[in-house]
Amino acid sequence: MGKLVMVAFGGNALLRAGQKGTYAEQLANVEDACRCLLPLLEQGCGLVIGHGNGPQVGNALLRHEAGSAQFGLQAMPMDFCGAETQGSIAYLIETAMEKVLKSAGMSRSVVSLVTRVEVSAEDPAFAAPSKPVGPYYKEIPDQVGNDGNVMPGSDRASVYREDPAGRGWRKVVPSPKPLAVQNIELVERLAREGYIVVSVGGGGIPVVEGKDGRHGVEAVIDKDLACALAAVRMKADEFYILTDVPKVYVNFRKPGEKALDSMSVAQARQYLAEGQFAEGSMAPKVRAGISFVENGGGECIITEAGQLGNPSCGTRIVK
């Protein structure tokens, strides 16, 4: 194989604004995203695909809660829902990629791995939930206090907070730092042998080490940061973070807006310190790019999927 490339699908690769998230919608979106990867495959790149799952996990939690309320079924925890959505989204990617490859006359096999990612039980994120998941609620749920914290006696480990943009209340869970990606050696081997591998879905299923082995926790790992860690461990040559804009901008949608062709790690850190990149949007992607480059990776390219194959695509983060 040629270069080994890690690609992190953005949320719009699965679900777009205004869509209801039907099977047909998501499959069509994924097919569009997979088609954009053809330039990399035509170059003979080894390819590993990571993806987000925020809306899907939120919907899974709602389904489990509804089943519990209506039929008395056990509502499964977030780590179970993460595994559930890893499998379903990987199925969509495998189905769509197979169709795209066949249309292009290419012979590559796709394989998916349900991926656990180890975090520390002592991570300070568990004391300060920050990652929004699932749908927006018009009113704060009954079991949550007016300050957004879970009321005494509730069995929920997360909190609900009001969205700054006024879209309602949303569930917020811890977002610990990923420390190790399970079976990453196997992922690398398969990718270098020519398989297209789907792994680290949704940032991976967060697990902590216990005396009897690893067990899941109520948390969400940042997808781009987990993909960056996977890319580092695989010694990937390039790490693509796909989003809905062609490049990273400073003064985004403000006077003096400027698209960046490249930025060094030092420049990226300076822009972050200045607040140029929004949290929950571009800031985590830039941090993931910094992590990849600082830890021995080649280049990180942040761009939209349709730009792949263009030599000048996206914003490159370099040493």
Catalytic residue positions?
Answer: 11-12, 131, 223, 285
Strand 46-50 relative to strand 196-198, pairing: parallel
Number of H helices, E strands in the chain: 8, 17
Do residues 2 and 70 touch, judged by C-beta distance below 8 A? no
b/e for 211-221, b at 16 or more Cβ within 10 A?
A: eeebebbebbb
Which tokens hold the place of 291? 């992590």
Say how far apart CA 177 and CA 162 lie, in whole Å.
Answer: 24
**254 DSSP assignment:** S
Q: How many CB atoms lie within 10 A of CB 210?
A: 9
The Cα–Cα gap between 49 and 130 comes to 25
List, in order, residues 6 or more apart from 212 with CB less than 8 Å away: none
- What are the strands of the beta sheet with 131-137, ordered from one edge? 131-137, 169-173, 159-162
* Identity of the amino acid at 191: A
Query: Could you give phi then psi for residue 159, rounded to 5 degrees?
Result: -125, 170
Closest CA relative to residue 204, chosen from 214, 195, 193: 214
